[in-house]
């Protein structure tokens, strides 16, 4: 099956055809580094990592660019609200530069813990101010900007198709006024957006640079356009992000990019859906949010969370609970245990030649190439685990191949070490067998719990009870 992806621009699944044969340019909106990433943020990056892995498995050479927003970005997606970095710096009594550096490092710790493949290029906004200024100058030369109140704005009425990604009906739009947020009186149109600030309602910012319009700092949207063009050219294949970026951020990126170049900018737009908690969309606005570090403190491996996200399609909302995460932990643990059993039996990674094994391989590829259908891909994985008609080598080879896409670290699973069982555990197992024979179920359950504390799980089989080491 050819690779088919849902393109937000067309609202349909399309066959993926790259601009250059065998090569893919992909840009992903990175984190705003003013706080830790919450697990909802990380779901978006996991979807992007999955996409990259599927592209690689399909034979493409992928150039993946991701920005780090370490300047600007107000608390709203528009031009209102407060600068998140400046606010964090005041609260923690550190400089905005220190805040950005600290949370960038924290983000990449999570990134690595989740076994995501690092981007080909990671670019910080603060390192690309010159490129942003140059892009604004191009827009200015073409008549797409105006200056008002000390700031440079993009005028959306200078292009014919503003809002095409979000399918905005501009004639019906009215100024959105949120409680506690004043309208920008300097805008000619409420949907116009800032390209460069020289006057912020919060006064001088810590991060400011000289420009043709005065000392100031860039608007949020301009950075992605400038940096993607720097590293991928003025037209590239794929742009990714969370679904919440569609109506404002990605809409404005398209407007300024295509106004500057006079041509189509991106061929395929892919967006990941929200992760929901018990209150709805997971976000940082309430002050409390779940981080990967917190999940680890609760005894979960980062791979448990990765497996959990694979259980839902990237375009479907996914509801988080610790019960569902525990189920994912158990399922992943059973896969790991199965692989250990295969390795103990001498399984090796070999080429696949059997008709049934090749069929499983193709079924898996068909699933992930059909708009990244990971639920169906996981069902294929479990069919392999349960298929006693496959040899140990075939099972192991298939699972390792699947993991080049799933990214669960199955290739690092090792065979269990043979070691003597704790004599105390053997004594307790014998007592438990006697308790079961006497139908003393309470005592039997208590002994099972004591064995668990020693690191052993009791398996009750038809031929008797055995001990397995706890993972």
Task: Give the pLDDT score at 279.
Answer: 67
Tens-digit pLDDT profile for residues 5-42: 999 999 999 999 999 999 999 999 999 999 999 999 99
User: By 3-state DSSP, what share of the chain in percent is helix, strand and coil, each rounded to 5?
Assistant: 45, 15, 40
Instruction: Give the model's confidence band at 119: pLDDT under 50 very low, under 70 low, under 90 confident, else very high.
Output: very high
Interatomic CA distance for residues 65 and 327, integer angstroms: 34
98 vs 184, higher pLDDT: 98
Q: What are phi and psi of 56, to 5 degrees?
A: -65, -45
Q: What pairs with residue 147 in β-bridges?
A: 152
Tell me: pLDDT of 182 over 60: no
Tell me: pLDDT of 379 over 50: yes
Instruction: Give the mean pLDDT of 355-369.
Output: 98
Tell me: pLDDT of 176 over 50: no
Range scoring the smallest mean pLDDT among 158-172, 220-234, 236-250, 272-286 = 272-286
Instruction: Give the model's confidence band at 289: pLDDT under 50 very low, under 70 low, under 90 confident, else very high.
Output: confident
Percent of the chain residues topping a pLDDT of 90: 70
Task: Give the pLDDT score at 434.
Answer: 87
Average pLDDT of the chain to the nearest whole number: 90
Range scoring the smallest mean pLDDT among 202-216, 219-233, 343-357 = 202-216
Task: Give the pLDDT score at 179.
Answer: 39
Task: Give the pLDDT score at 38.
Answer: 96
Instruction: Give the mean pLDDT of 41-53.
Output: 98
265 vs 186, higher pLDDT: 265
Domain ranges of the chain: 4-272, 292-412, 423-469
Instruction: Give the model's confidence band at 370: pLDDT under 50 very low, under 70 low, under 90 confident, else very high.
Output: very high
Instruction: Give the model's confidence band at 302: pLDDT under 50 very low, under 70 low, under 90 confident, else very high.
Output: very high
Instruction: Give the mean pLDDT of 148-153.
Output: 94
Instruction: Give the mean pLDDT of 160-187.
Output: 67
Task: Give the pLDDT score at 330.
Answer: 96
Task: Give the pLDDT score at 429.
Answer: 86
72 vs 450, higher pLDDT: 450
CATH number of 4-272: 3.40.50.620
Q: Does domain 292-412 have CATH number 1.20.120.1910?
A: yes
Range scoring the smallest mean pLDDT among 144-148, 235-239, 299-303, 338-342 = 338-342
DSSP secondary structure letters along 68-99: EB-S--BSSSSS-S-BHHHHHHHHHTS-HHHH
Task: Give the pLDDT score at 416.
Answer: 81
Task: Give the pLDDT score at 280.
Answer: 65
461 vs 328, higher pLDDT: 328
Instruction: Give the mean pLDDT of 61-86.
Output: 75
Q: Within its chain, how far is the Cα of 296 from the centroid?
A: 18
DSSP secondary structure letters along 212-258: TT-SBEE-HHHHHHHHHHHHH-SSEEEEEEEGGGIIIIIHHHHHHHH
Tell me: pLDDT of 153 over 60: yes
Tell me: pLDDT of 225 over 70: yes
Q: Could you give the maximum distance between any two Cα atoms of the chain, in Å? A: 91
Contact 348, 382 (CB under 8 A): no
Instruction: Give the mean pLDDT of 104-127.
Output: 98
Contact 309, 120 (CB under 8 A): no
Same fold, 4-272 and 292-412: no
Interatomic CA distance for residues 344 and 35, integer angstroms: 44
Task: Decide the pairing of beta strands 217-218 and 193-197.
Answer: antiparallel
Interatomic CA distance for residues 233 and 221, integer angstroms: 17
Task: Give the pLDDT score at 175.
Answer: 39
Looking at 341-448, which runs of residues are DSSP E strands?
Answer: none
Instruction: Give the model's confidence band at 345: pLDDT under 50 very low, under 70 low, under 90 confident, else very high.
Output: confident
Tell me: pLDDT of 450 over 60: yes
With CA atoms as reference, report the closest residue to 3 among 45, 58, 42, 68: 58
The pTM of the whole model exceeds 0.75: yes
Interatomic CA distance for residues 456 and 439, integer angstroms: 22
Task: Give the pLDDT score at 307.
Answer: 98
280 vs 167, higher pLDDT: 167
């Amino acid at each position: 099956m050819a690779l088919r992806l849902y393109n937000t621009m067309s609202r349909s699944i399309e066959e993926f055809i790259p601009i250059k044969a065998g090569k893919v340019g992909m840009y992903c909106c990175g984190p705003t580094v003013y706080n830790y990433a919450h697990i909802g943020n990380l779901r978006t990056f996991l979807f992007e990592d999955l996409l990259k892995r599927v592209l690689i498995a399909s034979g493409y050479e992928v150039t993946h660019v991701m920005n780090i927003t370490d300047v600007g970005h107000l608390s709203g997606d528009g031009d209102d609200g407060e600068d998140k970095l400046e606010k964090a710096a005041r609260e923690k009594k550190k400089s905005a530069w220190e805040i950005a550096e600290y949370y960038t490092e924290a983000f990449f710790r999570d990134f690595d813990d989740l076994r995501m493949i690092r981007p080909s290029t990671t670019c910080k906004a603060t390192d690309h101010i010159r490129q942003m200024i140059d892009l604004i100058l191009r827009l200015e030369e073409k008549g797409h900007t105006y200056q008002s109140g000390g700031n440079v704005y993009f005028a959306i009425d200078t292009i014919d198709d503003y809002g095409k990604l979000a399918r905005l009906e501009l004639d019906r739009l009215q100024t959105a006024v949120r409680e506690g947020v004043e309208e920008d009186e300097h805008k000619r149109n409420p949907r116009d957006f800032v390209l460069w600030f020289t006057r912020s309602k919060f006064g001088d910012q810590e991060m400011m640079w000289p420009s043709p319009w005065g000392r100031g700092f860039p608007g949020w949207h301009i950075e992605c356009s400038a940096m993607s063009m720097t590293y991928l050219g003025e037209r590239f294949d794929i742009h990714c992000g969370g679904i919440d970026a569609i109506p404002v951020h990605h809409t404005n990126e398209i407007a300024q990019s295509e106004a500057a170049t006079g041509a189509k900018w991106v061929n395929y737009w892919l967006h990941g859906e929200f992760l929901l908690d018990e209150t709805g969309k997971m976000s940082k606005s309430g002050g409390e949010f779940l981080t990967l570090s917190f999940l680890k403190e609760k005894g979960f491996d980062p791979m448990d969370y990765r497996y959990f996200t694979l259980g839902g399609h990237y375009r479907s909302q996914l509801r988080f609970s610790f019960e569902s995460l525990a189920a994912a932990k158990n399922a992943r643990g059973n896969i790991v245990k199965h692989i250990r059993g295969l390795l103990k039996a001498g399984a090796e990674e070999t080429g696949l030649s059997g008709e049934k094994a090749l069929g499983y391989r193709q079924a898996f590829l068909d699933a992930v190439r059909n708009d990244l259908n990971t639920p169906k891909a996981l069902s294929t994985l479990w069919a392999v685990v349960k298929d006693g008609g496959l040899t140990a080598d075939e099972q192991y080879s298939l699972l390792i191949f699947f993991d080049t896409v799933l990214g669960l670290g199955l290739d690092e699973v090792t065979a269990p070490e043979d070691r003597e069982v704790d004599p105390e555990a053997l004594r307790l197992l014998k007592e438990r067998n006697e308790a079961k024979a006497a139908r003393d179920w309470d005592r039997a359950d208590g002994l099972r719990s004591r064995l668990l504390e020693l690191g052993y799980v009791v398996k009750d089989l038809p031929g008797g009870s055995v001990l397995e080491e706890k993972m």
